[in-house]
Amino acid sequence: EGVNLLEQGAVLILMRHMTQAQAEASVKALKASYEDWNEIRVSQAQEIAQSLRTNARKKGIALLRDRRDAAMALKEYLQDVFQQTHHLDLEELREDEQTAGKAGMSLTVLGHAGASYLMYVANDSQFPVHLPLVKLLDRLELIGKTTSLKKARSAIDGLLKKGQELPFTLAIHETLERWDDEEKPIFMTVPALQET
């Protein structure tokens, strides 16, 4: 509640290093300590680390070392958003599905699953549909071949049970991200995908 899509992405990034409650508290603390997200993007990791909220009882250098990875991850995320969008705003994920899909799938630090979550939130809990996903679902023979996002949405909606939209969104986008992994593509390591 009360956070925009960029800030929700920051919570997701911080949750890789701390609990959800700590990540949410950290985002609030960062917003209170800095003028804007660009100021955070260009700050030193040790400065950012001071605003992060964890249960660590350490002080001084030990505390900064403990929070460094989270602070660096946040800086990398903000830099990635800035490089991909040329600003620090992810509201374009609320635009048409093709624009949102292109923008979301370009965010490498957030990853496909994280970006798909933001697209899901941006579209009022509706499953995000975009061309790379449609191609994957066609390869898996879950939907027929199409380049129409409207037809693809209709076919995908037929696959999903009510209440399963978010778990499917996260799982299929994780699969999409790992499909072309050069060392261990997911279709070579997951038995269910090997069979399709």
pLDDT digits (tens, 9 = 90+) for 45-67: 888 988 888 766 666 676 677 78
Q: Using a pLDDT cut of 70, give the percent of the chain over it.
A: 95
Q: Which residue has the higher pLDDT, 63 or 125?
A: 125
Question: Which whole number is the average pLDDT over 11-40?
Answer: 94
69 in Cβ contact with 17 (< 8 Å): yes
Give the per-residue pLDDT at 31. 94
Q: pLDDT tens for residues 155-175?
A: 988 888 888 889 999 988 988
